[in-house]
Amino acid sequence: MTPYPALLDPLLAQLPGATFGTFAPGRVNLIGEHTDYSGLPVLPFAIQLGVAIAGAPRPDDAVLVQNRDGARFPPETISLRELVHRPARGCWVDYVVAGLRLHPPEQGCELLVAGDLPIASGLSSSAALVCAAALLFAPPRFDRLALAERARLAEQYVGTLSGGMDQAASLLGQQGQALCIHFRPLRVELVPVPEHLAIVVADSGVRAEKGGAAQQAYNERVQQCALAASAMGALPGGLLADVPGGQRSARARRLPDPVLAARASFVFAEAERVAEAVAALRTGDLARLGALLDRSHAGLTDDYQVGHPAVDRLVRAAKSAGALGARIVGAGFGGCCIALCRAANASTVAAALQRAGAVAAFPVRPAAGARQFSSGRASS
């Protein structure tokens, strides 16, 4: 039974005439960072935090988008006609529009949004917002895989060349399961996460806004991977997943351009770590899983250059407190880290992370994917 997200109740109560709503979770990624846009696998899971939207029909053709935190996220009114043509403005409403375009409303409506994910911190708050908006007017039995594909493209409207992991994790999440996601075609293999394994998230408080420099640095890496792919024999415009042959990481190291060599060798090594992490989870080899996270963090910092000193500090603190492994999570450039530990040690690790300067440290468990509600209860 899917737990009812408490986030939605106050919204339904606050919005006069509210009859429907959605909730879409954020995600953490165990491993497989910056591999998705090269067509290589990832291993995330949806978490219990996310974005909720309550909706009320209106008799006219206006779509009023409001946020419970109106001072930080100002409201906007868009006509149904405008919805299709509205250019992205670099504001939070862009993500709502990106989602609504996938399943547009047929009449005007008033929407009220709230979220409990730290924003711009690697937990996929933007994809959660897109997915929550996309579900508002989706039919009750929608095709989750197909919508995940379309939601990836929808987010590119805001200018991020993102690879599809976040939208797939938010829409396809399952309680207790990590999702080994393969791309082209999108496919998910469920990998149970044992109860005695705890995953603690710690937020450095350093924001990596998708509308700012972090977006540019992210898109630059997408382009570098595409260039490395062609230099390694993929067709022009191809992905690293198309590069033929074995020993791809070693071959990538020999690319003449040192930046492309570093980027591509990291991506191939990280994709191998995903396969190893799936095996480690299946056999309950937590020590091996932890070591893989550590190697991922080192590669993200040195070869991929998406690290941040504030997150490094947290990673070190988690390890000193006995975490099996820890690493920066999501796109990077700040944000959160995850620390893997035995359940019995989770509160010690969380306390150490707080002492080391984390603005929040909390455990997460794999949770169910995005869902719709009508008159206050789950319908899908």
- Show which residues are catalytic: 166
319 binds ligand GLA (CB under 6 A): no
How far is 264 from 258, CA to CA, in rounded Å? 10
Q: Which is nearer to ligand GLA, 22 or 124 (CB)?
A: 124
137 binds ligand GLA (CB under 6 A): no
Which residues, listed in sequence order, are joined to residue 45 by a DSSP beta bridge? 28
Q: Which is nearer to ligand GLA, 162 or 177 (CB)?
A: 162
How far is 276 from 64, CA to CA, in rounded Å? 47
Report in angstroms how near the CB of residue 122 gets to ligand GLA at its nearest: 7
Report in angstroms how near the CB of residue 34 gets to ligand GLA at its nearest: 5
Report in angstroms how near the CB of residue 211 gets to ligand GLA at its nearest: 13
33 binds ligand GLA (CB under 6 A): yes
**Alpha helix (H) ranges present in 35-111?**
80-85, 93-100
165 binds ligand GLA (CB under 6 A): yes
- Give the three-state DSSP class for 58: coil
Provide the mask over 328-347, with x wherever binding to ligand GLA is found by CB under 6 A and - wherever it is not.
Answer: --xx----------------
Report in angstroms how near the CB of residue 18 gets to ligand GLA at its nearest: 30
- Give the three-state DSSP class for 379: coil
- Judged by CB under 6 A, the stretch of 164-172, 188-196, 308-316, 356-364 that binds ligand GLA is 164-172
Report in angstroms how near the CB of residue 261 gets to ligand GLA at its nearest: 20
163 binds ligand GLA (CB under 6 A): yes
Report in angstroms how near the CB of residue 306 gets to ligand GLA at its nearest: 8
**Alpha carbon of 320 to those of 295, 315, 329, 355: distances in Å?**
16, 9, 19, 12
Considering only residues 20, 23, 37, 373, which one is a binding residue for ligand GLA as defined by CB under 6 A? 37
Residues with Cβ within 8 Å of 120's Cβ and at least 6 positions away in sequence, in order, are: 126, 207, 208, 209, 210, 214, 334, 335
- Judged by CB under 6 A, the stretch of 49-57, 159-167, 249-257, 311-319 that binds ligand GLA is 159-167
Considering only residues 23, 34, 198, 202, which one is a binding residue for ligand GLA as defined by CB under 6 A? 34
Residues with Cβ within 8 Å of 282's Cβ and at least 6 positions away in sequence, in order, are: 191, 192
How far is 240 from 378, CA to CA, in rounded Å? 40
44 binds ligand GLA (CB under 6 A): no
Token code pair at residue 145: 């895989």
162 binds ligand GLA (CB under 6 A): yes
Q: Which is nearer to ligand GLA, 63 or 130 (CB)?
A: 130
Which residues, listed in sequence order, are joined to residue 46 by a DSSP beta bridge? 27
**Alpha helix (H) ranges present in the chain?**
8-14, 80-85, 93-100, 125-136, 144-155, 165-172, 213-231, 248-253, 258-283, 286-302, 309-320, 346-355
36 binds ligand GLA (CB under 6 A): yes
* Ranges within 224-253 binding ligand GLA (CB under 6 A): none
26 binds ligand GLA (CB under 6 A): no
Number of residues counted as binding ligand GLA (CB under 6 A):
12
Residues with Cβ within 8 Å of 277's Cβ and at least 6 positions away in sequence, in order, are: 30, 31, 32, 43, 289, 292
By CB under 6 A, name the binding residues for ligand GLA: 33-34, 36-37, 124, 162-166, 330-331
